[in-house]
Amino acid sequence: MRKIPKNYITASILCVFVIAAVIYLGIVFRSAKEAEPIYPGPGVTSVRMLSDWYPELKGTSGDTEVYILDSGVKGASMLVLGGTHPNEPSGFISAVMLIEYCRPTAGTLYVIPRANNSAFTCTDPQEAAPMKFYIDTDNGTRWFRFGSRATNPIDQWPDSEVYVHASSGQKLSGSETRNLNRAYPGNEGGTFTEKVAYGITSLIIAEKIAITVDLHEASPEYTTVNAIVAHEDALDLAALTLWDVEEDFQITLEKSPINLHGLTHRELGDFTDTMALLMETANASQGRLHGRIDSDLVVTGKDKFYARAAKYGAVTVPYDDSGISISERCARHIACITQFAEQYQFVGDGSAISLGDMPSYKQILKNGIGHYLSSPK
């Protein structure tokens, strides 16, 4: 075996270079810990932390804000999870929009915008994603964090080669070990990510959450996209919603597979009394086919390679040069969430939840999602 020849001058120069790079990169990567401001709107009645339901999370990156919008009128409760995967920004932005705009008129809305708070503090190697993206509001531009699909390895590492789901024994690639949406219903004595999932499950049980909606995005070539995935207990609610929103946009309803474990739509439905639903919109910055990736791609959803792939029949959603903007993706989420709430009274225990005067799909498309966000302060 060949040995490397020693050269002290070269080594010294490289050491100096490495020290400088480490200092610079340390500053860059630590900056990812800074969270964007969220401005609670008039509907927010209190802000608690997830550790209030599972104290072991207190002081960790897994602890995250839970915004409570209590209408003051007795009714059902609904939980919206944004940021399960912080590289799927329409879920996060929709959750922020609810916090800043929504004023429920019946029941209580709980919103966790950064469900996997830790995953907002890093990006995925080899995805070359931006650390921030920008949305124009009526009075200025706001920045938002673009994160990783998985918990920051600073908080949970190393991954095992194979991830074994705690309650089912299902085996998945080790890369799913830090995926919050493979960790449900969570594990009190488990990994960091399993504990975050356990905290969310604990909240759902303690607050008797009637509806849980987990907001996601998928790449345009993925099979489950522009879709609602519903646990069998939530199928009626999803079907009623579908009936209503299909006037504005195409969306499919899929039943949660019984042999795919760890996901919200399966485990929260099985382990709690909530009606568990998950939504997917088409995000061009997420797939394997996109070209150059930056904030513009995240927000406009315009990508020439996806447009080409659509012509080849390689994507599963309508896609052309106009792209699928974050406003359109958020509009889908918001329209369905509004309808889930409105339709619950027909399939639930008779109690109601209403999100009040929410913009329609068409209004969000016309005005842009930024119109419904607070201006930067």
The distance of closest approach from Cβ of residue 332 to other proteins in the complex, given in angstroms and rounded to an integer, is 20
Query: Exposed, middle or buried, 14 (CB in 10 Å: 0-12/13-18/19+)?
Result: exposed
- Using CB under 8 A as the binding rule, whether residue 4 contacts other proteins is answered as yes
Got the DSSP string for 196-244?
A: HHHHHHHHHHHTT-SEEEEEEEE-TTSSS-SEEEE-GGGHHHHHHHHHH
- Using CB under 8 A as the binding rule, whether residue 308 contacts other proteins is answered as yes
The distance of closest approach from Cβ of residue 160 to other proteins in the complex, given in angstroms and rounded to an integer, is 5
Binding segment for other proteins among 40-48, 100-108, 173-181, 265-273 (CB under 8 A)?
A: 173-181
The distance of closest approach from Cβ of residue 221 to other proteins in the complex, given in angstroms and rounded to an integer, is 6
Residue among 71 and 286 whose Cβ is closer to other proteins: 286
- Using CB under 8 A as the binding rule, whether residue 49 contacts other proteins is answered as no
Among the listed residues 12, 223, 250, 375, the single contact to other proteins using CB under 8 A = 223
Q: How many helices (H) and strands (E) does the chain have?
A: 9, 12
- Please count the residues of this chain forming the interface with other proteins, following the rule CB under 8 A: 51
Q: What angle do CA 69, 332, 254 make, to 5 degrees?
A: 105
Among the listed residues 72, 291, 350, 376, the single contact to other proteins using CB under 8 A = 291
The H or E element containing residue 171 is: strand 171-173
The answer to whether 207 touches 219, Cβ cutoff 8 Å, is: no
Among the listed residues 63, 155, 303, 328, the single contact to other proteins using CB under 8 A = 303
The answer to whether 68 touches 60, Cβ cutoff 8 Å, is: no
Among the listed residues 36, 52, 65, 159, the single contact to other proteins using CB under 8 A = 159
Residue among 87 and 339 whose Cβ is closer to other proteins: 87
Report how far residue 362's alpha carbon sits from residue 60's, in angstroms, rounded to the nearest whole number: 40
The distance of closest approach from Cβ of residue 58 to other proteins in the complex, given in angstroms and rounded to an integer, is 25
Residue among 47 and 128 whose Cβ is closer to other proteins: 128
- Using CB under 8 A as the binding rule, whether residue 116 contacts other proteins is answered as no
The answer to whether 71 touches 108, Cβ cutoff 8 Å, is: yes
Residue where the block lists tokens 């329409």: 90
Q: Tell me the helix, strand and coil percentages in the chain, rounded to 5.
A: 35, 15, 45
Residue 266 CA, distance from chain mean position: 17
The distance of closest approach from Cβ of residue 173 to other proteins in the complex, given in angstroms and rounded to an integer, is 3
- Using CB under 8 A as the binding rule, whether residue 350 contacts other proteins is answered as no
Residue type, 361: Y
Residue among 23 and 206 whose Cβ is closer to other proteins: 23
Among the listed residues 40, 105, 293, 351, the single contact to other proteins using CB under 8 A = 293
The distance of closest approach from Cβ of residue 320 to other proteins in the complex, given in angstroms and rounded to an integer, is 15
Among the listed residues 242, 289, 296, 356, the single contact to other proteins using CB under 8 A = 289
- Using CB under 8 A as the binding rule, whether residue 8 contacts other proteins is answered as no
Token representation of residue 132 = 């921030």
**If you ran DSSP here, which 8-state letter would residue 14 be given?**
H
**If you ran DSSP here, which 8-state letter would residue 53 be given?**
T
Report how far residue 341's alpha carbon sits from residue 352's, in angstroms, rounded to the nearest whole number: 8
| Residues within window 126-155 making contact with other proteins, judged by CB under 8 A | 126-128, 131
Query: Exposed, middle or buried, 326 (CB in 10 Å: 0-12/13-18/19+)?
Result: buried
Residue among 142 and 149 whose Cβ is closer to other proteins: 149
- Using CB under 8 A as the binding rule, whether residue 3 contacts other proteins is answered as yes
- Using CB under 8 A as the binding rule, whether residue 160 contacts other proteins is answered as yes
The distance of closest approach from Cβ of residue 79 to other proteins in the complex, given in angstroms and rounded to an integer, is 23
Residue type, 166: A
Binding segment for other proteins among 1-9, 104-112, 231-239, 366-374 (CB under 8 A)?
A: 1-9
204, 205, 208, 214 alpha-carbon torsion, rounded to 10°: 20
Binding segment for other proteins among 52-60, 96-104, 160-168, 197-205 (CB under 8 A)?
A: 160-168
Q: Which residues bind other proteins (CB under 8 A)?
A: 1-4, 21, 24-25, 28-29, 123, 125-128, 131, 158-162, 164, 169-176, 221-224, 257, 259-260, 287-293, 303, 305, 308-309, 312-314, 316
